[in-house]
Chains A and B, each alone.
Chain A
Amino acid sequence: SQKIEQNSEALNIQEGKTATLTCNYTNYSPAYLQWYRQDPGRGPVFLLLIRENEKEKRKERLKVTFDTTLKQSLFHITASQPADSATYLCAQASGNTPLVFGKGTRLSVIA
């Protein structure tokens, strides 16, 4: 079965720096990857989707890349702020498979 790994459980960065989170998948290449943000006690909130034929997607200070050779997606937050502190989840699916989520990376932006 497909596995998806977010290889950092926690990441601390200084305010103003770029945060880079990694999502790796095994086996087959997913049709798309999604990134979500989750705050404590709340449900995840959708941020970005990138499809297998896309290399990069941007939304304001967020950027996602998709490298099918490395079987990896990178999620960047530029000019990070303390309000960006949250857990970020990646999820992927292919064909008729349900979404598989990674366990998340807890980002802390220190002022």
Chain B
Amino acid sequence: KAGVTQTPRYLIKTRGQQVTLSCSPISGHRSVSWYQQTPGQGLQFLFEYFSETQRNKGNFPGRFSGRQFSNSRSEMNVSTLELGDSALYLCASSLGTLAGFGNEQFFGPGTRLTVL
């Protein structure tokens, strides 16, 4: 079974631009979650989508948004980029939702975003 894939792997943008990252989950997985990882803050939850619905959202500004398609593929968008948005963005998929049952998450390799 193919793992979680993320595109692109690396991205360089300038302040004020917007960016869209893509994630393809493992076949059959309906939950996709997004995380931001930085050296200072560690791994922080952005949002979770399950069956095209946002189930949970972390404490990030509205510039961060996402969506999920009917084939479970997901995209996240960051508008009006700031220097502090430079990070590794990780996507993870699981069979069920994160809530309550501790579904194992499978992470992709991440997209390294650099904002200049």
Which residue of B has the minimal Cβ distance to A100? B45
Q: How many A-B residue pairs have CB under 8 A?
A: 66
Establish whether residues B42 and A51, one from each chain, have CB atoms under 8 Å apart when the complex forms: no
Distance in angstroms from A49 CB to nearest chain B CB is 5
Cβ 8 A contact of A98, one of B41, B98, B101: B98
Known: A43-B92, A96-B56, A98-B56. A49 touches B42 (CB 8 A): no
Establish whether residues A93 and B102, one from each chain, have CB atoms under 8 Å apart when the complex forms: yes
Which A residues are CB-close (under 8 A) to B75? none
Establish whether residues A96 and B100, one from each chain, have CB atoms under 8 Å apart when the complex forms: yes
How many angstroms between the C-alpha atoms of A42 and B4 in the bound complex?
Answer: 12
Residues 82-110 of A at the B interface (beta carbon under 8 Å): 89, 91, 93, 95-104
Cβ 8 A contact of B100, one of A31, A91, A102, A104: A31
Which B residues are CB-close (under 8 A) to A93? 98-100, 102
Is B106 positioned at the interface, with any CB of A under 8 Å from its CB? yes
Which B residues are CB-close (under 8 A) to A102? 42
Is B66 positioned at the interface, with any CB of A under 8 Å from its CB? no
Is B114 positioned at the interface, with any CB of A under 8 Å from its CB? no
Cβ 8 A contact of B99, one of A43, A95, A104: A95
Is A46 positioned at the interface, with any CB of B under 8 Å from its CB? yes
How many angstroms between the C-alpha atoms of A102 and B91 in the bound complex?
Answer: 17
Is A34 positioned at the interface, with any CB of B under 8 Å from its CB? yes
Which residue of B has the minimal Cβ distance to A101? B43
Distance in angstroms from A104 CB to nearest chain B CB is 6
Interface string of A27-64 (1 = CB under 8 A from B): 00001101010000111111001010000000000000
